[in-house]
């Protein structure tokens, strides 16, 4: 089978504002929930914060040049909400928008297509103090923010994404509390999920109203490829339940205009879902131009038995589960090789998801908006950084993408997570996902061998032979 990708395929990398920008107080930016959370003792590894991150706010031009040198034709980044709308409401701060205007202009000048995400987890703290995503009002604030950014950048950005991984915002932010704002309330997590769905729908409407007709609007989900440990009915039921909490809670409203009934039944002990108003799910279902899929590893679940005490869902430790009402379900470490995050390397999960959404959302083009791996990459004596594990990881996953395309999936692009090493949320600077190495002391950038390898794939549109070893 050919390992050639379709013409026009987007080859990009992805980042997020809080993970790379730094400059937390510049030009009137106010704290986001991640500033507050990372400054709270005990919340991140080593007490790391995004105060400096990788100083992208001041090194924007150098970072765009890096991408251009690699010959990549797309770049997915996020806008920091508190940088452009510091209180989470009202008119935008022009100086905040100027940064993104300059970034986009730089990208376009280098032939790199900007792919803008509105929300990659950095809610203005002021909105969290008013209740955050568990409150309906936040969805309306998000729509207003979308309109403001749309008006400002719609003349030069064609590709828009509303939310990145709303599952993490809702369930890690309000359920397990391992992400900002660090709340541990299962009902708040479900309410947040709903208001993210509603916010996505309202923001899409707001964008359509201000963007030119050529604009393309999408959302990036991190669907779980959930596998049952055995075919026993109780394990299959565990799979169904986690599929509802991980996937259908978002894809139901966003793609089909309705919540899955089994999700309501499974969580009835916790809530009657009366925060879902008539018509909300229909608002969440807006015509989209594509669907973004972020994939890292599959999940293996079963009904919990004795001894299933360790959590292997890949979402950090902590005393609280991110899975409301599912304490009787166990997650098992998937078999096979692991990355430094302890996540398994299994491209078949990506293949399965691409075919699933091809079936469930026929006609909707797919983009892999994140995929990548963390390894402890250290510079050699001559300063070069070799990361053969990442090359193998990328080869395996790109090969799975190619196979999915061959089997009918309409995949139009791939965004490697991440352009460069950065602030990996609760893991701080301990985990390196970048294709470009960053020395966190000096901020020196060094493309790793995986960056060169990926550049070659992007230039030729072909996968070379699998790396040996
Ligand atoms: O770094 C994150 C990113 O912000 C969202 N998706 C997963 C990545 C790796 O954990």
CA of 89 to the centre of ligand 1 (A): 27
Task: Enumerate residues lining ligand 1, CB below 6 A.
Answer: 16, 19, 165, 294, 370, 417, 424, 433
Q: What is the pLDDT of residues 330-343, one digit of tens each?
A: 999 988 899 999 99
Q: Quick one: average pLDDT of 410-432?
A: 98
Query: Residue 237 domain-assigned?
Result: no
Q: Which atom of ligand 1 is nearest to the CA of 341?
A: 10
CA of 269 to the centre of ligand 1 (A): 31
Q: Which atom of ligand 1 is nearest to the CA of 422?
A: 1
Q: How many domains does the chain have?
A: 1
Q: What is the pLDDT of residues 266-279, one digit of tens each?
A: 999 999 999 999 99
Query: Residue 320 domain-assigned?
Result: no
Give me the pLDDT at residue 2, please. 54
Q: Is residue 121 left, alpha or beta, with left meaning phi > 0 and alpha meaning psi from -120 to 50?
A: left
- From 295, 418, 422, the mutation candidate for ligand 1 (largest count of ligand atoms within 8 A of CB) is 418
Q: What is the pLDDT of residues 279-293, one digit of tens each?
A: 999 999 999 999 999
CA of 296 to the centre of ligand 1 (A): 9
Query: Residue 244 domain-assigned?
Result: no
Q: What is the pLDDT of residues 365-416, one digit of tens each?
A: 999 999 999 999 999 999 999 999 999 999 999 999 999 999 999 999 999 9
Q: Quick one: average pLDDT of 46-56?
A: 98
Find the domain containing 206 and state its range: 10-222+250-256+271-295+340-460
**Contact between 170 and 187 (Cβ < 8 Å):** no
d(CA 186, CA 183): 9
**Contact between 77 and 117 (Cβ < 8 Å):** yes
Q: Quick one: average pLDDT of 423-430?
A: 98
Cis peptide leading into residue 94 (ω within 30°): no
CA angle 455, 463, 408 (to 5 degrees): 120
Query: Residue 446 domain-assigned?
Result: yes
Q: What is the pLDDT of residues 350-365, one digit of tens each?
A: 999 999 999 999 999 9
Q: Is the pLDDT of residue 1 over 70?
A: no
Which band of pLDDT confidence, cut at 50, 70 and 90, is reported for residue 242?
A: very high
Query: Residue 233 domain-assigned?
Result: no
d(CA 100, CA 156): 11
Query: Residue 235 domain-assigned?
Result: no
The sign of the torsion formed by the CA atoms of 165, 166, 168, 169 equals positive
Ligand 1, atom 10: closest residue by C-alpha: 424
CA of 425 to the centre of ligand 1 (A): 8
Give me the half-sphere count of Cα atoms (radius 13 Å) on the Cβ side of residue 99: 25
Question: In this structure, are strands 366-371 and 291-294 parallel, antiparallel, or unpaired?
Answer: parallel
Among 309-313, 419-423, 436-440, which is the least confidently predicted range? Answer: 309-313
Active site residues per annotation: 165, 370
Query: Residue 468 domain-assigned?
Result: no
Give me the pLDDT at residue 469, please. 61
Give me the pLDDT at residue 306, please. 81
Give the CATH number for residue 197: 3.20.20.80
Give me the pLDDT at residue 72, please. 98
Q: What is the pLDDT of residues 118-145, one digit of tens each?
A: 999 999 999 999 999 999 999 999 999 9
**Contact between 196 and 259 (Cβ < 8 Å):** no
d(CA 168, CA 178): 10
Query: Residue 406 domain-assigned?
Result: yes
């Amino acid at each position: 089978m050919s390992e050639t990708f379709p013409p026009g395929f987007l080859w990009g990398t992805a980042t997020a504002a809080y993970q790379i920008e730094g400059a937390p107080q510049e030009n009137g930016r106010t704290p986001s929930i991640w500033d507050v959370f990372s400054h709270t003792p005990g919340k991140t590894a080593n007490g790391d914060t995004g105060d400096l991150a990788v100083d992208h706010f001041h090194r924007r031009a150098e970072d765009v040049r890096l991408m251009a040198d690699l010959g990549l034709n797309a770049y997915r980044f996020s806008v920091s909400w508190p940088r452009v709308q510091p209180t989470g409401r009202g008119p935008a701060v022009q100086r905040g928008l100027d940064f993104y205007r300059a970034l986009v202009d730089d990208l376009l000048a280098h032939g790199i297509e900007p792919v803008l995400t509105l929300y990659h987890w950095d809610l203005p703290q002021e909105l969290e103090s008013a209740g955050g995503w568990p409150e309906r009002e936040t969805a309306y604030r998000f729509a207003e923010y979308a309109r403001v950014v749309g008006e400002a950048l719609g003349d030069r950005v064609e590709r828009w994404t509303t939310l990145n991984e709303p599952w993490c915002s809702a369930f890690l932010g309000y359920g397990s509390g391992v992400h900002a704002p660090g709340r541990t309330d299962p009902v708040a997590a479900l309410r947040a999920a709903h208001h993210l769905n509603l916010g996505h729908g309202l923001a899409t409407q707001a964008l359509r109203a201000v963007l030119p007709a050529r604009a393309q609007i999408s959302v990036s989900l991190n669907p779980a490829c959930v596998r049952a440990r055995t075919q026993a009915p109780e394990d299959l039921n565990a799979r169904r339940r986690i599929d509802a909490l991980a996937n259908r809670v978002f894809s139901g409203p966003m793609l089909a205009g309705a919540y899955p009934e089994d999700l309501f039944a499974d969580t009835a002990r916790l809530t009657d879902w009366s925060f879902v108003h008539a018509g909300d799910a229909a608002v969440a279902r807006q015509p989209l131009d594509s669907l973004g899929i972020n994939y890292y590893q599959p999940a293996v679940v079963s009904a919990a038995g004795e001894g299933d005490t360790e959590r292997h869902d890949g979402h950090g430790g902590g005393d609280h589960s991110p899975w409301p009402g599912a304490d009787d379900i166990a997650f098992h470490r998937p078999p096979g090789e692991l990355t430094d995050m302890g996540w398994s390397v299994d491209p078949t999960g990506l293949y399965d998801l691409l075919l699933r959404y091809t079936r469930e959302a026929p006609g909707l083009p797919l983009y892999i908006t994140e995929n990548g791996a963390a390894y402890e990459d250290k510079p050699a004596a001559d300063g070069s950084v070799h990361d053969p594990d990442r090359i193998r990881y990328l080869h395996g996953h790109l090969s799975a993408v190619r196979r999915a395309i061959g089997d009918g999936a309409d995949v139009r692009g791939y965004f490697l997570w991440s352009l460069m090493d950065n602030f990996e949320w609760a893991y701080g600077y301990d985990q390196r996902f970048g294709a470009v190495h960053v020395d966190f002391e000096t901020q020196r950038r060094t493309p790793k061998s995986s960056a060169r390898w990926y550049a070659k794939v992007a230039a030729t549109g072909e996968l070379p032979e699998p790396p040996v070893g």
